[in-house]
Amino acid sequence: MPISTQQTGRRQYIRLDSVFPVRMRLVQAQDRTPVLDWIQGFTSDISKGGLCVSFNALPPEAIAHIKSGAMHCSLEIEVPLGRLMVRALAKISWFKDKVEPTEKYFVGLQYLEISPKDSAAIVLYARLRQFFVPLTMLVVAILTACIIVSGYVALRLSEGNRSLTDRLAIVSQAHMAMKQKMDGMGTQGAVLTKRINDLMGELEMLNLEKQKTQKQKETLRVLNAAMQRSAKEKITLQAQLAWLQAKQERSAADALRLENKKTALEKASIEQMYLAEAHYRLGDYTGALEIFSKNEFGDPAYLYYYGLTCEKLKLFDRALKLYRGLLTSGFAAQAQARIDVIEKPGKAQ
């Protein structure tokens, strides 16, 4: 029975955006005796029940055998999925001769014998190829969204760091003023204590004088009046001292609260310092500089990475200033090495 030259049932095929090799050999339908040698082709469409194979060229005798309808095809299909070689027997369903514009030959084949596992592997590969491009686009969209979210978080962290720095400066100033005030009250308390001790000595001396001058009433009256004045002054000074001590205790409590608040703000500032160093290590020098610029103060390691970031962005004057400030710190050797590199470009970096 002659083979149709029209394609039928094309809706059941899966269109591939890539091809894989197929070797086809025509055999007798009756006894599977080969009539020609192997012919190299490539898949065009595939389905669970068969496939379409394209050929750049076909011998005239092969075309005649195909059109006769008396031939079957022995197939060797190389599936890229795991480099699988599938062998099958198929009958010819249709044939198209030199389809324009490619000038290729197309042969539609229906499986007669094929392992179900091999057939499933071929269809699986085709479906994976179908979903590869949409999946790639989805991954790109997700990565883009992650980059946008990361930029927003970095902006918010920068704003938070600026606020923490301002608050830390205010608290530090208040802490310094409170400390100076406490030092002044401590000095005043020491003066009052010395005065009280002196008065007690004077009272003892007055008592001695009173005993010696008991016979002299006028002298005794004068001494009694002096003692009364000293006693009153002692009570007044003791009250002042008690007031100063209470005020000193309140000031100490206020200083402790300010110290705790300062410590919390310094901890938050240190976290921002670590974030800036992390941006530098990840190669985000612009993001690192933005955070470093919000806080110009820190430990030697922080200022050293600040200088390295300025170097990466070619801000050499700022980098030199930072490195020179580290020449008396534990990073003196590293800082001097970087200064030499900047000021003597011929040195190896």
Q: What is the pLDDT of residues 248-280, one digit of tens each?
A: 888 777 777 767 766 655 665 678 788 888 999
Band of pLDDT at residue 310, cut at 50, 70 and 90: very high
Q: What is the pLDDT of residues 324-340, one digit of tens each?
A: 999 999 999 999 999 99
Q: 140 pLDDT exceeds 80?
A: no
CA distance 319 to 310: 5
User: Phi then psi for 297, rounded to 5 degrees?
Assistant: -115, 150
CA distance 36 to 65: 10
Could you please state the CATH topology (level 3) that the domain comprising 151-280 is classified under.
Answer: Helix Hairpins (1.10.287)
* Mean pLDDT confidence for 309-320: 95
> 């530098």: which residue's tokens?
280
Threshold 0.75, pTM exceeds: no
* Parallel, antiparallel or unpaired: strands 71-79 and 21-28: antiparallel
Q: Pick the range with the lowest mean pLDDT from 9-13, 171-175, 218-222, 310-314.
A: 9-13
The CATH code that applies to domain 10-114 is 2.30.110.10
**Which residue intervals of the chain bear CATH 1.10.287?**
151-280
Q: Quick one: pLDDT at residue 153? A: 54
Q: Are 86 and 77 in contact (CB under 8 A)?
A: yes
CA distance 21 to 42: 5
Band of pLDDT at residue 93, cut at 50, 70 and 90: very high
Q: Quick one: pLDDT at residue 11? A: 45
Q: What is the pLDDT of residues 12-21, one digit of tens each?
A: 556 655 578 9
Residue 261 identity (one-letter amino acid): K
**Which residue intervals of the chain bear CATH 2.30.110.10?**
10-114
